[in-house]
Homo-oligomer: A and B are copies of this chain.
């Protein structure tokens, strides 16, 4: 199988484990139940129980928590290769909701599928635990971002993180990436107002660092943006397989 034929999840986990033929086969079998979901309609509701997890193979999703006052807080976005609700399939009730941002393709995964896969190849369990650890590291970075970074650095850090995540699954380069997010999505995840987001993006563009326009993030000065954000990608841990 060439890397372009592999699922995004396989490409991603390959950054952690040098997968054997057997492990590759088990992983591809997890993609059997393919489903499509339309943009803007929740796939999993907060508080829902007995739900499946999904492996996202095409498109973007946002995960969010509903507040008692009816507002929502976006926790993160999922891109191809990411699990949707891996946490939800293990916890009794989902602690958050998922909404596709565009029409998406995803494979449904039941708890029994995970148990079967882990029984066949325990290294895969470690690889999926790695992916979950990486997801947690991202939430921690967002926590630090909201707590400590100013608006420019917060935006720069977020756009760089997305770029690294997409590069891992072959959907981004140091030049940039396609991005369906609106300024409202950015405002929500970064804890800024939409007007503030607009101003920050204009400043970053005018300083020649990055442009976000017409669904495309273009890095004009990747190194300069890394410096502004104090971005250290070590927490994304994607520099080639650790387990041989």
Q: A: which residues have CB within 8 A of B?
A: 16, 47, 65, 67-68, 71, 73, 75, 86-87, 90-93, 95-96, 111, 114-115, 118-119, 122-123, 125-126, 128-130, 132-137, 139-144, 146-148, 191, 230, 234-235, 237, 239, 242-243
Asked if A235 contacts B95 (CB within 8 A), the reply is yes
Across the interface, which residues of B come within 8 angstroms of A114, CB to CB? 126
Q: Check A92 against B237 for contact (C-beta < 8 Å).
A: yes
- How many whole Å from A65's CB to the nearest CB in chain B? 5
Given the complex of chains A and B, what is the CA–CA distance between A237 and B94 in angstroms? 10
Interchain CA distance A234-B230 in the complex, whole Å: 36
Bound-complex Cα distance A122 to B115 (A): 7
Q: Which residue of B lies closest to A235 (CB)?
A: B95
Given contacts A75-B140, A129-B125, A148-B73, contact A235 B119 (CB under 8 A): no
> How far apart are the CA atoms of A203 and B130 in the complex, in Å?
42
Q: How far is the CA of A47 from the CA of B235 in the complex (A)?
A: 9
B-side contacts of A65, CB under 8 Å: 140, 144
Supply 27 A–B pairs (Cβ within 8 Å), ascending by A.
A68-B230, A71-B148, A73-B147, A75-B143, A86-B129, A87-B137, A90-B126, A90-B237, A90-B242, A91-B235, A95-B140, A96-B140, A114-B126, A115-B126, A118-B123, A118-B126, A125-B129, A128-B129, A129-B129, A129-B132, A135-B136, A136-B136, A139-B143, A142-B143, A143-B143, A143-B146, A146-B146
